[in-house]
Structure formats: structure tokens, C-alpha cells
């Protein structure tokens, strides 16, 4: 029996926070909003509580969890040593969509880090997340609150769909602001390395840290963020991502809609605001506007909703328009490429 409680995203109701904190302290799971995506939370210090996360999500055991904290004192108990780069990141980007990978203390159970010597840690900026952790008085381990293999949930309704019947409580504050997961940055030593692109861009990090590397997972080689090897964000339908100059992409999208229809496919299109009127007249079975080409934040916040909608409406073929790979666009394209299973047309 799952309770779905609607909570004020800006001024969360005290009784609801209390209810959430009680479940968490009892070792149960609570789904809650963060500024990136919804998290599926458990007491990070209790191995048996964290084990329930893997069960509810159907998550592989070798994929470690991010631990969420509400202040620096809480973080200090989990981290053995803070590098100078980590300190800079805390100053500039916390609270916010940046996860830091640092050497863990003995307090962090192995199930949380999947046996790795480092822990991934983040201070979210969403008032519900922050206040819930504060009220609980414990660090909260939380992966995205989706079933493993589905797009991360960016709306309370997504969590409801994936988690109802599996957990006691969902705190629903509507849509998440960022809509993409946090950037995972290894600052445990050496040059800071992005293990997963996300809400804080490489450019933003470089402005503060200087040199920043990107660990691009290579085929047949274990990535440093274990989660990056799984086929995430995969819609049920076949998906093709199109990259190229705007007019050519739009023309090609139109052609692919017709080809799909000729093969008797239901064709869904994920496109920008600018392309929408031109594609509308090609009569796809679903046309989802991600946002303006000029506002990647808008595209980011709508992306997972669009992917989920295509599945719900039974699209056999999903055609997605790419965005420019800079700033937040890098993370958007990372998710689109994964969803497309690397089926990319350069036009
Ligand atoms: O925005 C977010 O990060 C959301 C919200 C809920 O905070 N959480 C999230 O968690 O996306 P999850 O579990 O879906 O993704 C965590 C990623 C995975 O790719 C995982 O492999 C990596 O972070 N990760 C976790 N702990 C790690 C560690 N100790 N070392 C390297 N990578 C780690
Ligand atoms: Mg996830």
C-alpha cells in the first residue's frame, strides 16, 4: 500500500516531512523530489534499508548509490579526506546538481558503494529534499526513483507509475526543475573527472577548477561510474537520434515519419519548439515539444517526460531531434544517445 502525498515544493508541510522521516528512520523507503529527478531514499547508514532500494528498482547490485546530505557536518562523517578540488566544488555548487566522489569512511556500508573505496555524495537544493534529510537527521542513500532501465522520474506521476505497491510513501511536489540527473565528478585525487554529465556543465566546472577530464565509457571496458555501463533511459520502441543543421534535420525527420508509416509503425517525434510547426504537418502519431533550441534548460526538464510518453502511447518508432553539444546540451545529448542505443543519424 503506497501513500502518495502532495507536498508544497517551496514550503514543505511539517507533518509530511515528519511522516517521511519516520519511515526512513524505521528503515523503509521514501520517494522524494530533488531539483534533478525524484530519488528513492533509504537510511544510508543501514545496509538492510539500502538493500531494499535494489529490490524495489530491480537494480544490479554492483551499481552504487548516491548519498544525500543536508549540511557539511553530515558530509564530513562520510568522507575520509576532502581534496582542494572537492572543497571548491562544495563552495561553488552545493547545494545543487553536483555529486562528488570521495574516499569513504567506515560509516558507509559496502552495499551503498558496491564495495568501492569511494562514496558518491551530494547536497540537493530542493527544499523538500533538504528538509526531509534534516528532519530525518540521517544521510539518505537515493538513486533515481524509477524502475531500473526506465527514464529517471521527473514528475511525481512517474514515480507513482514505477513504485506504487513497492514502497510506503511518495512525496509528490510535481515537476523537477532541472530534469536531468546530477553531474558525477570524481574529485578523489588527480585531475577532476566527470563520470556522468549532468545538471552542472563541464564549462561551469572548468571555470572553477581549471582542467576537468571526462571519463567516456569505452565498449568492453568498465567505466568508473558503474551505472554508466547499463542501457539506461531505453524506451520500448526503436529510437533514432538525428544530428545536423536544423533545416536538414527537419527535412529528414519528415522523410523518416513517412518511411515509418509505410512500415506501419506508430511514429513519435521529440523535437524543438522551432521544428514543431514544420513537423506537425507531417502527421506523426505523437509530437512532443521538448523546448526551444535556445533554452536547453527547458529541453532538459521535459526530456524524460517525452520519452515516457512515447512508451505509454505505444510508439514503435521514436524520432528525436538532437541539440547543440555545449553546456547542459552535453548532458541532454548523453541521455538521448543512450536512449537511442547509439542509433544516431548524422545528417
Ligand atoms: O541527480 C541525481 O544524481 C539523482 C538524484 C536522486 O540525486 N540520483 C541518481 O542516482 O541519478 P542513480 O543511482 O540513478 O545514479 C548514480 C550514478 C550511477 O551512474 C552510479 O554508478 C554512480 O552515480 N556512482 C554512485 N556511487 C559511485 C561511486 N562510489 N563511484 C563512482 N560512481 C558512483
Ligand atoms: Mg538512475
What pLDDT is recorded for position 236?
A: 87
Q: 39 C-alpha vs ligand 2 centroid, how far in Å?
A: 9
Please name the residues in contact with 320: beta carbons below 8 A apart, sequence gap of 6 or more: 239, 240, 241, 242, 269, 270, 271, 336, 339, 340
* 3-class secondary-structure state, position 140: strand
Cell 567516456 belongs to: 216
Which residue puts its alpha carbon closest to atom 22 of ligand 1? 225
Same domain, 24 and 112: yes
**CA nearest neighbour of 233 among 328, 321, 330, 308:** 308
Residues with CB under 5 A from ligand 2 (ion): 144
Same domain, 263 and 130: no
Residue 208 lies in a domain: no
Q: What is the pLDDT of residues 172-195, one digit of tens each?
A: 999 999 999 999 999 999 999 999
**CA nearest neighbour of 69 among 9, 130, 119, 143:** 130
Assign residue 55 the CATH number of its domain: 3.90.870.10
Look up the domain containing 68 and give its range.
3-180
5 Ramachandran zone, left/alpha/beta (phi>0; psi -120 to 50)? beta
Which pTM was predicted?
Answer: 0.95
Q: Point out the domain boundary residue: 159, 180, 201.
A: 180
Same domain, 245 and 152: no
Residue 207 lies in a domain: no
With a 6 Å cutoff on the Cβ, whether 331 touches ligand 1 is no
**β-bridge partners, 193:** 186, 213
Domain count for the chain: 2
Same domain, 53 and 172: yes
Nearest-atom number in ligand 1 for the CA of 199 is 1
- Cα 179 to Cα 38: distance, rounded to the nearest angstrom: 9
Helix-helix angle 14-25:127-136, to 10 degrees: 50
With a 6 Å cutoff on the Cβ, whether 254 touches ligand 1 is no
Q: What is the pLDDT of residues 49-58, one digit of tens each?
A: 999 999 999 9
The answer to whether the complex's ipTM is over 0.90 is yes
Residue 285 lies in a domain: yes
Assign residue 257 the CATH number of its domain: 3.40.50.11030
Residue 31 lies in a domain: yes
Nearest-atom number in ligand 1 for the CA of 36 is 1
Q: Which of 30, 34, 35, 64 to mutate to test the pocket of ligand 1 (most atoms within 8 A of CB)?
A: 64
- Cα 292 to Cα 238: distance, rounded to the nearest angstrom: 25
Amino acid at each position: 500500500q503506497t501513500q502518495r502525498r502532495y507536498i508544497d515544493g517551496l514550503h514543505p508541510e511539517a507533518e509530511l516531512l515528519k511522516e517521511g522521516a519516520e519511515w526512513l528512520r524505521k528503515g523503509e523507503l521514501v520517494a522524494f523530489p530533488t531539483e534533478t529527478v525524484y530519488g528513492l531514499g533509504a537510511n544510508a547508514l543501514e545496509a538492510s534499508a539500502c538493500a531494499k532500494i535494489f529490490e524495489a528498482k530491480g537494480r544490479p547490485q554492483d551499481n552504487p548509490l548516491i548519498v544525500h546530505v543536508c549540511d557539511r557536518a553530515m558530509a564530513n562523517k562520510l568522507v575520509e579526506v576532502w581534496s582542494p578540488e572537492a572543497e571548491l566544488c562544495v563552495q561553488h555548487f552545493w547545494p545543487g546538481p553536483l555529486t562528488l566522489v570521495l574516499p569513504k569512511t567506515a560509516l558507509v556500508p559496502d552495499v551503498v558503494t558496491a564495495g568501492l573505496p569511494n562514496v558518491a555524495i551530494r547536497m540537493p537544493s530542493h527544499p523538500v529534499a533538504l528538509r526531509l534529510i534534516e528532519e530525518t537527521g540521517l544521510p539518505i542513500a537515493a538513486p533515481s526513483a524509477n524502475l531500473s532501465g526506465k527514464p529517471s522520474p521527473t514528475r511525481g506521476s512517474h514515480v507513482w507509475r514505477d513504485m506504487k505497491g513497492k514502497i510506503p510513501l511518495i512525496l509528490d511536489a510535481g515537476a523537477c526543475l532541472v530534469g536531468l540527473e546530477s553531474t558525477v565528478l570524481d574529485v578523489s585525487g588527480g585531475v577532476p573527472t566527470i563520470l556522468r554529465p549532468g545538471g552542472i556543465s563541464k564549462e561551469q566546472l572548468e571555470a572553477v577548477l581549471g582542467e576537468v577530464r571526462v571519463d567516456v565509457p569505452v565498449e568492453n571496458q568498465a567505466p568508473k561510474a558503474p551505472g554508466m555501463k547499463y542501457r539506461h533511459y531505453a524506451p520500448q520502441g526503436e529510437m533514432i537520434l538525428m544530428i545536423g543543421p536544423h533545416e536538414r534535420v527537419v527535412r529528414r525527420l519528415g522523410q523518416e515519419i513517412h518511411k515509418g508509416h509505410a512500415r506501419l509503425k506508430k511514429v513519435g517525434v521529440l523535437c524543438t519548439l522551432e521544428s514543431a510547426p514544420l513537423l506537425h504537418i507531417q502527421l506523426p502519431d505523437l509530437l512532443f515539444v521538448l523546448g526551444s533550441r535556445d533554452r536547453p534548460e527547458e529541453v532538459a526538464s521535459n526530456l524524460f517526460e517525452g520519452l515516457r510518453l512515447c512508451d505509454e502511447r505505444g510508439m514503435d518508432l521514436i524520432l528525436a531531434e538532437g541539440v547543440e553539444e555545449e553546456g547542459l546540451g552535453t548532458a541532454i545529448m548523453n541521455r538521448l544517445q543512450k536512449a537511442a542505443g547509439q542509433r544516431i543519424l548524422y545528417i
